[in-house]
Amino acid sequence: MTTGFYWSERCFWHAGGNYAFTLPIGGNVQPLAAGALPENPETKRRLKNLLDVTGLIHDLSVHSAPEAPAEDLLRVHPQSYLTEFKEMSDAGGGELGQRTPFAQGGYELAAQSASLAVTALENVLNGTHKNAYALSRPPGHHCRREDPMGFCLMANLAIAIEAAKATRPDLKVAVLDWDVHHGNGTEEIFYDRADILTISIHQDRNYPIDTGAFADRGTGKGEGANLNIPLPPGAGHVAYLDTMERLVLPAIRAYAPDIIVIACGFDAAPVDPLGRMMATVETFRAMTRQVSALAAEICKGRLMMAHEGGSSEVYVPFCGHAVLQEMSGSPINAPDPWGDAYMQHQPDNAFNRFVADQITAMKDALQRS
């Protein structure tokens, strides 16, 4: 079977907001000569371009998707939020939440971004693809039911999961979020649910600053079905793979899901302006290899990823290419142009031992619970 790749040029046209980086323009904040928010279309477009240039795109099954219908959106977001969003979008755009601006037509673009995830997930579950990647934009993992934030206007993965469960009520899903920021929206939506396991590896106290604690394990029926793994700034290749081996993979294996879903952000990379981590192209390749092997072991290889963060226009394409090469088994490679340099910049053994001790403490706490 093939690896599905879902994208739309229309989603790259999502825009809006009078920002200079993450600061509203005005007062002493001068407008940028080019660009606005760090969540910009070029990181995604350049990934698609790199796939075209190397030829890896020909080893993928390439598709798009129409806008998600209201019934899909309403399983996650209330009508009041969708109505307000649509009216503001039709009126020329605006902003509904914290750093979530959009232009005219932003509602339709967000609905299409969600649909890319919905369709990719469905086509893995129905056997069309062995695995799939949705190049969604705008991203979704910060969006709460009626509170968009962090560039996220609709909860793409939550919408996709609920659409899948509408025809498969017993479906068990494990969601792993390796974006550098805590996947607070996905966590909150499923926090009291036992049928969805949510795991987030993120930089400690980055964004949102008040969520993502290890102690937050779920509530009610969902107690124990949420796992946050906050890592200290500067954690790199060794720490990420150690986290996967000792915390993430055992948790997913014990949960025994029907499919593994990844909120795939690339902002834990060394040059990302919104993170302070040291994950490299090879880190993302290795983590993809780890989850692919686990999926083959426990859920017939079913694996789906949706694009989330990553603000380095230069580096994100190489990270994404490595992930898609690994997912597809293609021999076509795009070597990391900074690979040797970034490996030399990795934390030393003393820092790796410091992080390993934190991972051990979390593992011990999980075993006691």
pLDDT in tens, 185-229: 999 999 999 999 999 999 999 999 999 999 999 999 999 999 999
Residue 33 has pLDDT above 80, yes or no: no
- Any idea which of 6-20, 140-154, 262-276, 334-348 has the lowest mean pLDDT? 6-20
Is the pLDDT reported for residue 17 higher than 80? no
Q: What average pLDDT does the structure give for the chain?
A: 96
Residue 301 in contact with residue 259, Cβ under 8 Å?
no
If you average pLDDT over residues 171-198, what whole number do you get? 98
Tell me the pairing of strands 101-103 and 93-95.
antiparallel
Average pLDDT on 284-301 reads 98
Please say if the pLDDT value at position 140 is more than 90.
Answer: yes
Residues 275-290 have a mean pLDDT of 98
Query: Tokens 């290889």 map to which residue?
Result: 301
Please report which helix (H) or strand (E) contains residue 198, including its range: strand 196-203
Tell me the whole-structure pTM to 2 decimals.
0.97
Q: Nearest 10 degrees: CA dihedral of 318, 324, 326, 329?
A: -130
Write the burial class of residue 244 (CB in 10 Å: 0-12 exposed, 13-18 middle, 19+ buried): buried
Burial class, 367, CB count within 10 angstroms (exposed 0-12 / middle 13-18 / buried 19+): exposed
How confident is the model at residue 99, as a pLDDT?
A: 85
User: What per-residue confidence (pLDDT) applies to 21?
Assistant: 86
The kind and range of the H/E element at 354 are helix 349-368
Q: Which residues contact 82 (CB under 8 A, 6 or more apart)?
A: 70, 73, 74, 107
Which residue of the set 142, 202, 307, 321 is catalytic?
A: 142
Mean pLDDT, range 332-354, rounded to an integer = 97
Task: Give me the mean pLDDT over the 317-332 stretch.
Answer: 98
Would you call 260 helix, strand, or coil by DSSP? strand
Query: Please, which contacts does 332-341 make with residues 24 or more away whose CB atoms are closer than 8 Å?
Result: 332/54, 332/55, 332/56, 332/59, 333/54, 334/50, 334/54, 334/56, 336/280, 336/281, 336/282, 338/270, 338/271, 338/280, 339/280, 339/281, 339/282
pLDDT at 344 over 80: yes
pLDDT at 113 over 80: yes
Cα 330 to its chain centre, rounded Å, is 23
In order of 31, 196, 210, 348, the CA distances from 225 in angstroms are 44, 7, 20, 34
- The structural domains of the chain, ordered by start, are 2-16+39-368 (3.40.800.20)
Cα 136 to Cα 52, 91, 133: the distances in Å are 18, 24, 9
Task: Please give the distance of CA 355 from its chain centroid, rounded to a whole number.
Answer: 23
pLDDT at 32: 80
Residue % of the chain over a pLDDT of 90? 92
Can you tell me the distance from the alpha carbon of 290 to that of 294, in angstroms, rounded to the nearest whole number? 6
Question: Do 307 and 141 meet the contact criterion of CB atoms below 8 Å apart?
Answer: no
237 catalytic per annotation: no
pLDDT-derived band at 74 (thresholds 50, 70, 90) equals: very high
- pLDDT for 24 equals 86
pLDDT at 178 over 80: yes
* Amino acid at site 85: F
In this predicted structure, which of 95-109, 183-197, 250-264 has the lowest mean pLDDT?
A: 95-109
